[in-house]
Amino acid sequence: MQKMIRKNPRNMPRPVGNYSHITRVPKGAGLIVTSGQVGTDMDGNIPSNLNDQITNTFSNMKKVLESEGLTEANIIKVNIWATEEIDWDYLDAQWDVLFGAEYPSMTVAYISALGWPELKIEIELWCAEV
C-alpha cells in the first residue's frame, strides 16, 4: 500500500504555519471531501466565543472522519475560513494533538461572514483513502 507524501521543497520558503506545501496522493486513492465543519454542539448550539467554536469544530471533524473509517493520516488538505482573528496558540494546540508533525496542506482565509451569522469558523477536510 502506498502512502501519502508530505513535503516542503528546499528551494522555497518554509511554511509560515503548521502545514505542508505539498501533499502527494498516490495514484488510485479514493477522494473523500467533507462539508465545512462548524462549531455547533450535538444539540445544535453555537457558542459565542471563537475558541469554544474551535473546540466543537475539531470534535465534529473527528466524528466525520470516524464515520468514514478515516483518521487524521487520511487528511490531505484543510481549508479554514474565519470571521475574526484566530487565536493561533489555541488552534495550534488542538492542531498538534490531531496531526502531530504530519501536517496536511492548508489554506486560511478571513471572510466577512459564514452561512449563519453566529458562526465564526468553518473547516473543510479533503481526504484520501489509500
Please tell me the predicted confidence (pLDDT) of residue 52: 98
* pLDDT tops 80 at residue 2: no
Question: Distance between CA 52 and CA 58 in Å, rounded?
Answer: 10
pLDDT tens readout for residues 40-82: 999 999 999 999 999 999 999 999 999 999 999 999 999 999 9
Question: Distance between CA 29 and CA 119 in Å, rounded?
Answer: 33
In the chain, the domains with their CATH numbers are 34-119 (3.30.1330.40)
